[in-house]
């Protein structure tokens, strides 16, 4: 009787998380941003900056980075708007050439005029939908900034509150510090790998002469946080634009750059971060990406690994849930990561 009750409880919790995603997803994202910002906040306080000045400085730094992201996106949209007619002409030419080859091979095929697919009414609907989505993104960003301010302010006095609330029992909460440290380490290393990926792909696109090179580098940087599929998603539109703008040869060259960068960095650095730092098996990484993406959308995909790793770290300290933590980890003997032992237990 216990198993059905547990299963029903899990279903209810997951359904509630999915229904509350407009509130929970920005809240959790703000929490991870706050965790990443804590070292900078501690450094400012160490050099003598008062809390009322240190917190706005951190928030301003995060806001500047968000503004930079918005500038890159808006610049890419403006440039794309200018070259869209040329791309439509090239698409029409490629379509007619493909139809001619199919007809020569004996297949029935007709070219579809792009005027039927791209008309003023459809473009207006797309622009309206894009404006609506942009408004929603701005609203979520402001909500995240608001959450961030209160979380950073609360983090200053949190250790004192925990000491007063739990006293001698504070040792039971020591895993919280480990969770924060592991997440900070993962995000720092992942950011370095993503930054290198974005710089190399953006530089390669600029050398080849592909339009929107800065945007493709930025897209590779952002989507590299999404495991397994993020790099592929970032490469596809860049290669398509290179094909339309420059032809098959430059598109293949850009594809080779993307493939080489992702093979080298993904084979050397990403396994080190995911395998040794977080200790997650490949199957768990894939399932976490699907689950959190389904639950919270794009934000969930970005937070999939940190959330799953946090759950694993908490399980490692529990006698009851420790077997689940072992199942979530890599196969012993294939990595240098030792099998974790729950707190208070010794392996024989």
CA distances from 327 to 10, 19, 112, 152, 331 (A): 19, 29, 53, 35, 8
Confidence category of residue 343, pLDDT binned at 50, 70, 90: very low
Q: Which of 86-90, 143-147, 251-255 has the lowest mean pLDDT?
A: 86-90
| Among candidate residues 186, 178, 213, 185, the one with its CA nearest the CA of residue 342 | 178
Tokens of 257: 């750059």
Query: For residue 348, what pLDDT is reported?
Result: 39
Confidence of residue 336 (pLDDT cuts 50, 70, 90): very low
Asked which of 225-229, 250-254, 265-269, 275-279 is least confident by mean pLDDT, the reply is 275-279
Determine the pLDDT at residue 239. Answer: 92
pLDDT averaged over the chain? 77
Tell me the mean pLDDT in the region 226-249.
Answer: 85
Residues of the chain with pLDDT > 90: what percent?
8
57 touches 48 (CB < 8 A): no
User: Residue 347 — pLDDT band, cuts 50, 70, 90?
Assistant: very low
| Token pair for 94 | 């490629």
Give the model's pLDDT for residue 345: 46
Instruction: pLDDT band for 208, please (50, 70, 90 cuts).
Output: very high
Q: Which two tokens stand for residue 116?
A: 């039927």
What's the rounded Cα separation, in Å, for the pair 151 and 160? 15
DSSP designation for 33: H
Write the pLDDT tens digit of every residue in 10-69: 888 888 888 888 888 888 888 888 887 888 888 888 888 888 888 888 888 888 887 787
Residue of 305, 340, 336 whose CA lies nearest to 324: 340
The CB density around residue 226, as the number of other CB atoms within 10 Å, is 19
pLDDT value at residue 344: 44
Measure the CA–CA gap between 230 and 268, rounded to whole angstroms.
Answer: 17
313 band by pLDDT with thresholds 50, 70 and 90: confident
Sign of CA dihedral 237, 243, 248, 253: negative
In a 3-state reduction of DSSP, which class is residue 53? helix
Q: What is the dihedral of CA 334, 337, 342, 343, to 10 degrees?
A: 170
Decide which of 133 and 224 is more confident: 224
Average pLDDT for residues 239-260, to the nearest whole number? 90
Structure-model confidence comparison of residues 163 and 295, the more confident one: 295
Phi and psi (nearest 5°) for 210? Answer: -75, 140
What is the mean pLDDT of the segment spanning 144-165? 78
How much is the average pLDDT of 273-280? 60
Query: Do the beta carbons of residue 44 and residue 58 sit within 8 Å?
Result: yes
Measured between alpha carbons, how far apart are the two ends of the chain, in Å?
34
What predicted TM-score, i.e. pTM, was given to this entire model? Answer: 0.73
User: Residue 30, by phi and psi: left (phi above 0), alpha (psi -120 to 50) or beta?
Assistant: alpha
């Amino acid at each position: 009787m216990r198993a059905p009750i547990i299963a029903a409880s899990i279903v209810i919790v997951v359904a509630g998380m999915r229904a509350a995603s407009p509130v929970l997803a920005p809240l959790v994202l703000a929490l991870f941003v706050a965790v990443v910002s804590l070292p900078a906040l501690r450094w400012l306080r160490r050099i003598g900056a008062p809390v009322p000045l240190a917190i706005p400085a951190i928030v301003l730094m995060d806001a500047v980075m968000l503004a930079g992201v918005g500038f890159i996106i808006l610049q890419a949209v403006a440039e794309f708007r200018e070259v869209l007619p040329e791309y439509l002409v090239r698409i029409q030419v490629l379509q007619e050439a493909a139809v001619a080859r199919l007809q020569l091979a004996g297949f029935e095929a007709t070219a579809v005029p792009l005027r039927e697919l791209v008309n003023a009414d459809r473009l207006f609907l797309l622009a309206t939908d894009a404006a609506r989505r942009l408004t929603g993104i701005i609203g979520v960003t402001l909500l995240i900034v608001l959450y961030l301010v209160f979380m950073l302010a609360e983090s200053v006095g949190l250790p004192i509150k925990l000491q007063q609330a739990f006293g001698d029992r504070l040792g039971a909460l020591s895993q919280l510090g480990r969770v924060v440290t592991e997440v900070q380490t993962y995000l720092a290393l992942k950011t370095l790998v993503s930054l290198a990926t974005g710089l190399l792909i953006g530089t390669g696109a600029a050398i080849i002469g592909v339009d929107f090179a800065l945007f493709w580098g930025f897209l590779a940087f952002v989507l590299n946080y999404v495991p397994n599929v993020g790099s592929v998603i970032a490469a596809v539109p860049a290669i398509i634009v290179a094909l339309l703008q420059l032809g098959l040869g430059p598109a293949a060259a850009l594809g080779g750059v993307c493939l080489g960068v992702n093979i080298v960095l993904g084979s050397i650095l990403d396994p080190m971060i995911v395998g040794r730092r977080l200790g997650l098996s490949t199957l768990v990484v894939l399932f976490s990406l699907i689950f959190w993406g389904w639950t919270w959308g794009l934000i969930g995909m970005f937070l999939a690994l940190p959330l799953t790793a946090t759950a694993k770290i908490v399980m490692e300290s529990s006698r009851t849930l420790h077997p689940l933590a072992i199942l979530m980890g890599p196969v012993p003997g294939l990595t240098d990561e030792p099998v974790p032992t729950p707190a208070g237990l010794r392996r024989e």
